[in-house]
Amino acid sequence: MISTDLIKKIRRIEIRTRRLVNDSYAGEYHSVFKGRGMEFDEVRPYQIGDEIRSIDWNVTARTGQPYVKRYVEERELTVMLVVDASASENFGSVNRFKRELAAELTAVLSFAATTNNDKVGLLIFTDQIELFIPPRKGRRHVLRLIRELLAFEPQNRGTDIRMALEKVNQILKRRSIIFLVSDFLAEPENYRQAMAITNRRHDLIAVDLNDPLEKNIKDVGLMALEDPETGQIAWVDTSSRAWQKAYQGRLERLETGKTQAFRQASVDRIDISTDEDYTAPLTTFFRDRAKRIRH
């Protein structure tokens, strides 16, 4: 049974995200993610200004009147949301958990896709594939995806991005748009090659979720830190300069590794924090993509 609180949360997300899509993102999504090409639709009588090369000479010869071929964009695309549900996603020090942010972000992307008559699917992973929902169209399908993202309880706690991407490559036979939503708190070497392979077959976009406390642990003296994926607890002295330096060094190495992995795989990155409104990073992503397409 779905709780009343969950129904209210789903409804709030739907209202907010549908408004954003209708006001901003539906058109930008359409212009950035093109169909697979142009397909023949019909022939019609030639009109002044039509391209001579579009004349259908067989029909013209048969009827004695000039006719041109008409083409339409083969629009239908498949969007796959590949969402990290490892234990580190159940963290948020400001407004919401990363898991809740992932649900709202994927709702925006799902509504943008379904508004453009595209299919949307969902794959939730930890260090195993936890849930797969095949791509479909429609509002009811999108609401199901949001519900699963908010309510689904994974069986495992770890993270295996490489495994998730390899599974996606097995499932999707035609070129698709893949949004990989994760905090990427894993060694980049483990997923670097899989990311490059996936982006050659599909259009892969990395949605990198983070929380400000993860980047800046202030001096509060002794603190117990728990690794959410292993459950191990370590007591640290946050006032220690040596510890602060070591912690910042690890963060910098992880960030450098991520950046290199994304760049080498030619993967676009949308960087979003739990303490910020995600509309600005999403808008920047769509606009930057549109500029590259025009040039």
Residue 172: its pLDDT value, please? Answer: 95
Q: Tell me: the pLDDT tens digits for 184-198?
A: 999 999 999 999 999
The residues with which 70 forms a beta bridge, in sequence order, are: 42
Q: How many angstroms separate the CA atoms of 261 and 180, rounded?
A: 14
Q: What residue segments make up the domains of the chain, in order of their start?
A: 4-32+77-210+271-294, 38-73
Give the rounded distance of the alpha carbon of 246 from its chain centre.
32
CATH class of 4-32+77-210+271-294: alpha beta
pLDDT tens, residue by residue, 110-127 = 999 998 889 999 999 999
Measured CA to CA, the distance from residue 246 to residue 222 in angstroms comes to 16
For 227-286, what is each residue's pLDDT tens digit? 777 778 888 888 899 989 998 999 999 999 999 999 999 999 999 999 988 999 999 999
Find the helix packing angle between 241-264 and 192-201, rounded to 10°.
30
Confidence tier at 146 by pLDDT (50, 70, 90)? very high
Q: Which residue has the higher pLDDT, 152 or 132?
A: 132
Angle formed by the axes of helices 139-151 and 4-20, to 10°? 130
End-to-end CA gap in the chain: 51
Residue 105: pLDDT band (50, 70, 90) is very high
- Indicate whether 154 pLDDT > 90: yes
pLDDT of residue 131: 97
34 vs 283, higher pLDDT: 283
Q: What is the mean pLDDT of residues 174-185?
A: 94
Q: What is the pLDDT of residue 90?
A: 86
